[in-house]
Amino acid sequence: MCGFVGLLNWYGLASEADGYAKVMADAIEHRGPDDEGFWRDPNGAVILGHRRLAIVDLTAAGHQPMASRSGRWVIAFNGEIYNHEALRAELDRGGWSSGWRGHSDTEVILAAFEVYGVDQALQKCVGMFAFALWDRETKTLTLGRDRLGEKPLYYGWLQDTLVFGSELASFYRHPDWHGEINRGALALLMRHNYIPAPYSIFKGISKLPPAAVARFTKHGTDPEIREYWSLREVAERANRSPFTGTPAEAVDEVERLLRQSISGQMMADVPLGAFLSGGIDSSTVVAVMQSLSTQPVRTFSIGFDVAGYNEAEHAKAVAAHLGTSHTELYVTSREALDVVPRLPSIYSEPFSDSSQIPTYLVSKLARQHVTVSLSGDGGDELFSGYSRYAMSEALWGRISRVPTPLRLGLASAIRAVRPSVWSGALRLPLCALPSRYRFKNPGDKLHKFADLLGLRTHDDVYLRLLSHWQSPEALVHGAKEPPTWMTRPDGVPASMTDVVRRMMFLDSVSYLPDDILAKVDRASMAVSLESRVPMLDHRMVEFAATLPTSILRRDGVAKWPLRQVLYRYVPKELIDRPKMGFGVPLDSWLRGPLREWGESLIGDRALAEDGLFDVDLVRTAWQEHQSGVRNWQYQLWDVLMFQAWHVQYRENQRVGAAASV
């Protein structure tokens, strides 16, 4: 795991560009504290910079940027190729063996590019990665990213210079940097709590989508972008040829693929462990790891002394049963809150999934003992684990049976009465119902239901359920939301009519790479920890896509195949319990210990100064949340995380400008 930066100018880079590359690489030292390296093309068009976190081949033979044996190709690489030993053997059989300098996976992928070409080599790779590859012969720069988007890659033009690298923080160090907020991307952040690729928070700066390569050729500015693997094609192929075996055979294949993936991802020349929450996904990964290991696996979990937010006890019980070497840390609310000021620097692009806090804390804990940690991310998207899938399917099943005119009339009638009035009117009737139906703010729930009544398709319903601010264009002045997978007419394959499958697909191409994987990458790399995600081995992804929902949700149980694999290692009673998630008590924090901090960021003066947000909308939400009339925790966190990031960004720019002068 590493980080890289780069500069390209077809007319030749100035001599000062070496210094620019150095300070840009310094900005991401946390991604690679073990070594740094720079390479400048003799013709002066390209500079590559690299920060290394040494995981495989700790010797100087793994130093980057790295040139191929012929000298034609030079690469800056971030990630891991888990099947690099098999690729090396394949290349040896083809007569390549005489030229190996070490045993790093970077050297293998360079050789594969030379022998097979970029696209074919990438199709042979099993791994997570981002890279910049310079072809000295054709004067072509190729940027590439792994299939599911585990590793990040940004790029954009600053006048005549292309800048590219692992994090936006590097770009701020370039003297030509003048970032302008992309208000459309800001609106997307307010809707989703993340900014979907290919957009970034700045105009003119893009994220390379997963499974894509971008080629920049001489004197061109717009790259040729193509996919070498397509999740859409995987879904369409699976829809045409679904799995036809028995449920038991599906479970056997899931276990086989997991063992294959985890065995490959346990490759490291440094200490290795795993995150363990005690849930289905992480417990399955740890169970298989332990079965493959000759010694106790190191596992890590974070505990909170807050009811409803603590899974550490469950993790401890699973660890004890499996015999892992388990480390847990209970953190106080104060210790968790102390992370909040660091979030803007950890996430150099604004990001507002509040589980970023415990993710950082467990990464920090693990890094005290290991350099690599496996996680259970991806299980919900692959095996239909989110409760919103069943809820959304059931909701649409009921709504769609009511004629549209009737739905619209009912929605208008509900909205005509304020949520607080509804809550008062419903308080006594709700007392007679079971506790699970006694909502704290029933009027709030009723208004949300009214919003759903007027929608015309299930995809519209799902977008509404996923959205924080329902009308981001009204919230962000001058914003027009750009199209995303969620809103493009061609986003979901037309042949995919199963609504659960449609939701799983949309999450896999957007929420998974741009929220879940971005969160884990930035949090772990902030403490120089490599995080690996074995569920997202593309062979597992391709098989899971073929499983019908009747197997994924068998007998009304979510993630049925994965559960059956886990039950082979861990008793049911240690696992079967309501899903808790990995969150923090944001609602009470914003009314208590974070109230003063929040007020400083979204007070009338602070909001008016930027001119980005509708002051009345934000202030109304803040006041209603403080009074307890409504719970706006997620919507407010979106605004607060942007504001905190923006304050720090502007201060860094001011300090940087002064230093340049």
Question: Measuring CA to CA, which residue among 240, 262, 215 is closest to residue 540?
Answer: 262
Q: pLDDT at position 659, please?
A: 47
**Is there a domain that residue 123 lies in?**
yes
Q: At 185, list the tokens.
A: 């991307």
CATH of the domain at 361: 3.40.50.620
**Is there a domain that residue 579 lies in?**
no
**Is there a domain that residue 513 lies in?**
yes
Among the three residues 229, 254, 289, which one is the final residue of a domain in this structure? Answer: 229
CATH of the domain at 107: 3.60.20.10
Q: pLDDT at position 431, please?
A: 65
User: Same structural domain for residues 375 and 409?
Assistant: no
Q: What is the pLDDT of residues 559-613, one digit of tens each?
A: 999 999 999 999 999 998 766 666 788 999 999 999 999 999 999 999 998 899 9
Enclosing domain of residue 144: 2-229
Q: Are 129 and 110 in contact (CB under 8 A)?
A: no
User: Which residues lie below 8 Å from residue 574, measured CB to CB, with a gap of 6+?
Assistant: 314, 317, 318, 321
**Is there a domain that residue 484 lies in?**
yes
506/502 Cα distance (integer angstroms): 6
User: Same structural domain for residues 362 and 398?
Assistant: no
Does residue 329 sit in helix, strand or coil?
A: strand
User: Same structural domain for residues 247 and 393?
Assistant: no
Among the three residues 438, 473, 500, which one is the final residue of a domain in this structure? Answer: 500
Q: Are 297 and 290 in contact (CB under 8 A)?
A: yes
**Is there a domain that residue 581 lies in?**
no
**Is there a domain that residue 580 lies in?**
no
User: Same structural domain for residues 520 and 447?
Assistant: no
Q: pLDDT at position 439, please?
A: 62
Q: Which residue shows structure tokens 């609602």? A: 587
**Binding site residues for ATP, as ranges?**
302, 375-376
User: Same structural domain for residues 568 and 597?
Assistant: no
Among the three residues 473, 500, 527, which one is the final residue of a domain in this structure? Answer: 500
User: Same structural domain for residues 451 and 591?
Assistant: no
**Is there a domain that residue 235 lies in?**
no
In the chain, which residues have pLDDT < 70? 1, 98, 306-309, 427-428, 430-440, 578-582, 655-661
Q: Catalytic positions, please? A: 2
User: Same structural domain for residues 271 and 208?
Assistant: no
Q: Quote the number of domains for the chain.
A: 4
At residue 524, what is the residue type?
Answer: S
Does residue 367 sit in helix, strand or coil?
A: helix
Q: pLDDT at position 281, please?
A: 97
User: Same structural domain for residues 150 and 17?
Assistant: yes
User: Same structural domain for residues 26 and 169?
Assistant: yes
**Is there a domain that residue 236 lies in?**
no
**Binding site residues for L-glutamine, as ranges?**
105
Question: Measuring CA to CA, which residue among 470, 458, 527, 532 is closest to residue 498?
Answer: 458
User: Same structural domain for residues 64 and 197?
Assistant: yes
pTM for the predicted model, two decimal places: 0.93
User: Same structural domain for residues 513 and 566?
Assistant: yes
Q: pLDDT at position 315, please?
A: 94
| DSSP 8-state symbol, 514 | I
- CA 407, distance to chain mean position in Å, is 36
Q: pLDDT at position 167, please?
A: 97
Q: Are 86 and 158 in contact (CB under 8 A)?
A: no
385/113 Cα distance (integer angstroms): 38
At residue 607, what is the residue type?
Answer: L
User: Same structural domain for residues 182 and 280?
Assistant: no
Q: pLDDT at position 231, please?
A: 97
**Binding site residues, as ranges?**
105, 302, 375-376
